[in-house]
Amino acid sequence: MTGTPAHIAYEVRETSQVGEVRRAAVRVAEDLDFDEVATGRVAIVATELGNNLVLHATGGRILVAPVEMADGVMAVELLSLDLGPGIPDVAQCMTDGHSTAGTPGTGLGAVRRLAHEFDIFSAVAAGTVVLARIVAVPARRELPSEVDAARRQRVFEIGAITLSAPGEMVCGDSWAIARHGSSAALLVADGLGHGPLAREASQAAVATLLDAGDTLPSQMIERVHVALRGTRGAAVAMARVDALSDTFTYSGAGNIAGRVVSGATDKSLMSQHGTAGVQIRRLVDVSYDWPPHGLLVMHSDGVQTRWRLDDVPSLMQHHPTVVAGWLLRDQVRGRDDVTVAVLKRRQA
């Protein structure tokens, strides 16, 4: 089972704020026991992403969190989000020496070299999202063979972002994925309200996935309902997917939103009314088509539901975390905890 602590978001509009991002990223690296060299790579990536926002995007946000990559290996994740002018030619921008701001032009190129996982999506007049993940090994091409093999064997790619409500120290949302060969179970929970009590409820919900097995989503949410009695309760939804199948099963209680999008398909998923741990109606499992290139998106009500990706169809070819970042950047309500989880099949 995997899930991550909440991301911390840092506004970057001027040079003085770049240092705050760098220090935050270094703290995460030190908490993961990175050595001095690996921590230095994290510091460089954070600095380059921050400077890029100041110089080229007239500001934006950088999200920082520890994430699990493969085989239990942890990485520092940095996600840069901006609404700047966008990059007309991303490939040219990644070339050392290319600059539009009178700088040496090594920023994004350096980030790509230092990151073990890197992706970028940009649209002219619509902004840019950059993902960089750094692990504690010497260089990107020297990713340990057992880690690289574990990553390649995974039939799903998952990307998720979780942010606390403004003014809160902890996030009341949680998510987790349990993998079983070619199948997986993805669960998202939104604890009622905000703060520590909401987090207690959502964490109890995702903990049930430790014993997920082949349990149907409705049966799992019934278990969650029992486990959450005595807490303030949570909205919960779960999808059970199989990479070898063109359908998946979904069930939910409360206001977790689910969508399947593929460029040709945009289907909302059905949840029942109720709050797990408090009161829920009789749950049902619904089967949905899953197109070969389809994305499964699940998010809490901290994100608006009327979003579309029609104007950026190529975004769906990118890492799920980049997709999640694009949605969060544009659609976050700004007054609640937020979770966006995006799942796709690797062969897609």
- For position 94, which CATH number holds? 3.30.565.10
Reduced to 3 states, what is the DSSP secondary structure of residue 8? strand
Show which of 151, 169, 198 is a domain's final residue. Answer: 151
Whether 170 is covered by a domain: the verdict is yes
CATH code (residue 159): 3.60.40.10
Show which of 104, 130, 151 is a domain's final residue. Answer: 151
| Interval 149-201: pLDDT, tens | 555 557 899 999 999 999 999 999 999 999 888 899 999 999 999 999 999 99
Whether 3 is covered by a domain: the verdict is no
CA atoms within 13 A on the CB side of 339: 31
Say if residue 91 is in the same domain as residue 166: no
| Interval 248-273: pLDDT, tens | 999 999 999 999 999 888 999 999 99
Say if residue 203 is in the same domain as residue 60: no
Number of domains in the chain: 2
Among 1, 17, 19, 93, which residue's Cα sits nearest to residue 56? Answer: 93
Q: What does the pLDDT read at residue 145?
A: 56
Say if residue 181 is in the same domain as residue 211: yes
Show which of 151, 166, 183 is a domain's final residue. Answer: 151
Whether 230 is covered by a domain: the verdict is yes
Whether 26 is covered by a domain: the verdict is yes
Among 165, 195, 170, 193, which residue's Cα sits nearest to residue 336? Answer: 165
**Domain of 205, in residue numbers:** 154-345
Say if residue 188 is in the same domain as residue 294: yes
| Distance in angstroms (rounded) separating the CA atoms of residues 274 and 283 | 10
Whether 263 is covered by a domain: the verdict is yes
| Interval 26-75: pLDDT, tens | 999 999 999 999 999 999 999 999 999 999 888 899 999 999 987 778 99
Which residue's structure tokens are 């506004």?
A: 11
Whether 31 is covered by a domain: the verdict is yes
Whether 83 is covered by a domain: the verdict is yes
Average pLDDT of the chain to the nearest whole number: 89
Alpha-helical segments (H) within the chain:
15-31, 36-56, 90-93, 107-114, 145-153, 195-207, 217-227, 320-331
Q: What does the pLDDT read at residue 182?
A: 87
Please state, in angstroms and as integers, the Cα–Cα distance from residue 197 to each residue in 88, 169, 201, 208, following that order: 46, 12, 6, 18
| Distance in angstroms (rounded) separating the CA atoms of residues 169 and 160 | 19
| Distance in angstroms (rounded) separating the CA atoms of residues 288 and 80 | 33
Sorted by sequence, the CB contacts under 8 Å of residue 338 that are 6+ apart come out as 161, 162, 163, 165, 173, 299, 300, 302, 303, 328, 332
Say if residue 28 is in the same domain as residue 123: yes
Say if residue 176 is in the same domain as residue 253: yes
Give the number of other Cβ atoms within 10 Å of residue 282's Cβ.
8
| Distance in angstroms (rounded) separating the CA atoms of residues 328 and 297 | 12
Whether 81 is covered by a domain: the verdict is yes
Task: Supply 298's token pair.
Answer: 């699940």
Say if residue 222 is in the same domain as residue 106: no
Beta bridge partners, 74, equal: 68
Full-model pTM: 0.91
